[in-house]
């Protein structure tokens, strides 16, 4: 996982710099974004015993990836990326993930974020396992969501001109379909995801201008 951690950290750093070039010095509360995403994740999974709820697995996995985005960002503490990645591997080795029910695993991630104002890779790994996701799933879906975040920034997300609803569905839902149709091992995977989003978004823009 070391090289994959390095790759994902580099991608996250690049994405964060698109939003704010000096983001590591800004003191953004990444831990807060992580635990709030935990609440959104619970909404997609379901927690209401007083009504019928069915987990939306695709959205559950995307929310988990969002938590990972914020969690990795919270780990930037002045060390270089290879050192952060090694620390992530060391944490998993010294604090192996535990077997938890899904909702308990979500709450463990949120609780750690609130108590420490940081992020636990080990607790997140327990959540990953509880969701039935593998490290390969994490990597491929992270790359996909990272590309979507870049796409959003490239198309006006920050100034408010980006259209998030595509033909009655959120762009996240379109991303799930695009990822399902692609082989994550292909060399041009990131570009293929971006192109897939671009092709669908052009249809949205064409409809808006019609």
Write down the pLDDT at residue 210: 58
Contacting residues for 13 by C-beta, under 8 A, at least 6 apart? 76, 81
pLDDT at 45 over 80: yes
Whole-angstrom Cα distance, residue 126 to residue 124?
5
Where a domain ends, among 102, 133, 164?
133
The total domain count for the chain is: 2
Percent of the chain with pLDDT over 70: 99
Write down the pLDDT at residue 140: 87
- Tell me which residue range forms the domain holding 6: 2-133
Encode pLDDT of 78-99 as tens digits.
Answer: 899 999 999 999 999 999 999 9
Do 11 and 106 share a domain, yes or no? Answer: yes
pLDDT tier for residue 168 given thresholds of 50, 70 and 90: confident
Where a domain ends, among 113, 133, 153?
133
- Phi, psi for 168 (deg, rounded to 5): 85, 5
pLDDT at 13 over 80: yes
* Rounded average pLDDT over 2-31: 91
Q: What is the CATH number of the domain that holds 109?
A: 1.10.4010.10
């Amino acid at each position: 996982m070391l090289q994959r951690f390095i790759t994902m950290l580099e991608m996250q750093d690049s994405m964060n710099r698109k939003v704010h070039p000096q983001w590591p010095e800004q003191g953004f509360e990444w831990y807060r974004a992580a635990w709030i995403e935990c609440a959104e994740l619970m909404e997609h999974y379901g927690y209401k015993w007083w009504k019928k709820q069915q987990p939306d697995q695709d959205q559950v996995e995307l929310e988990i990836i969002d938590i990972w985005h914020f969690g990795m960002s919270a780990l930037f503490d002045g060390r270089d990326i290879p050192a952060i990645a090694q620390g992530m591997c060391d944490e998993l080795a010294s604090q192996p993930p535990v077997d938890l029910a899904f909702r308990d695993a979500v709450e463990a991630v949120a609780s750690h974020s609130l108590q420490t104002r940081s992020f636990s890779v080990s607790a997140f790994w327990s959540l990953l396992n509880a969701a039935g996701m593998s490290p390969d799933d994490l990597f491929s879906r992270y790359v996909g969501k990272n590309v979507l975040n870049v796409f959003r920034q490239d198309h006006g997300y920050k100034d408010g001109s980006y259209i998030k609803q595509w033909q009655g569905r959120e762009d996240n839902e379109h991303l799930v379909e695009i990822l399902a149709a692609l082989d994550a091992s292909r060399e041009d995977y990131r570009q293929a995801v971006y192109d897939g989003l671009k092709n669908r978004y052009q249809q949205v823009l064409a409809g808006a201008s019609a």
